[in-house]
A and B are shown apart, each in its own frame.
Chain A
Amino acid sequence: DGGITQSPKYLFRKEGQNVTLSCEQNLNHDAMYWYRQDPGQGLRLIYYSQIVNDFQKGDIAEGYSVSREKKESFPLTVTSAQKNPTAFYLCASRWVHGYTFGSGTRLTVV
């Protein structure tokens, strides 16, 4: 079945470390998105990519980086510059009928 796979489901980061969240899709969708979800704040857009080798900053891009070397993959790196990275991260792809979401990665700073 087609879908979006996010891994890992849970991730723990030490202070000062960079971590990378994986997002892979086999839906052949061009556009992919990363959102951050915090309680009571809905979903906030971090980065998005509408085509391979191109991406744009969203509303809260500071402290994050992405790459889009393949259509299927859109990894998100949470850098040490992100001061409050503990959150639930959702990856999505876009087609004409809307977004398809992955099941999310919960990142916790320890």
Chain B
Amino acid sequence: AQSVTQPDIHITVSEGASLELRCNYSYGATPYLFWYVQSPGQGLQLLLKYFSGDTLVQGIKGFEAEFKRSQSSFNLRKPSVHWSDAAEYFCALSTDSWGKFQFGAGTQVVVTP
């Protein structure tokens, strides 16, 4: 069975500093991978996705993620965070283009002045 692990439950970062959120997955083939962001009391918004091809994926709000097959990872990065990036971030996996997702437990990001 497939699984998604987000090792960091909580990350604190200073405004203007870089951010990297880790995501590791377990699946026997190349999965479809996603990153979502959730503001308090809201639904989830898609940041970016990886299906195939270029392993560096650009998303919205200045985020990017890199798929590394050898490490079974799909880490999310942003070069310079803004206070509005404070939110919870979820990594998700799907085994095909129409199937249900497996979500990680989420990483809460706090941005300090």
Contacts and interface: CB of A to CB of B under 8 A. Distances in A.
Interface of A: 4, 6, 31, 33, 40-43, 45, 48, 50, 58, 88, 90, 92, 94, 96-104, 106
Contacts of A48: 100
Contact of A45 (B9, B44, B100, B104): B100
| Interface range, B side | 20 to 34
B43 A103 contact: yes
A2 to B, nearest CB: 14
A94 B100 contact: yes
A94 B32 CA distance: 13
B37 to A, nearest CB: 11
A110 B90 CA distance: 30
Given A43-B90, A45-B100, A96-B97, A102 B43 contact: yes
A98 B100 contact: no
Interface string B28-47: 00000010100001111110
A12 B87 CA distance: 26
A101 B103 CA distance: 14
Contacts of B101: 33, 99
Contacts of B103: 42-43
Contact of A90 (B43, B97, B98, B100): B43
B105 interface: yes
A40 B90 contact: no
7 contacts: A41-B105, A42-B103, A42-B104, A90-B44, A94-B99, A98-B49, A99-B44
Contacts of A45: 100
Contacts of A40: 9, 105
Interface in B75-113: 90, 92, 94, 97-101, 103-106
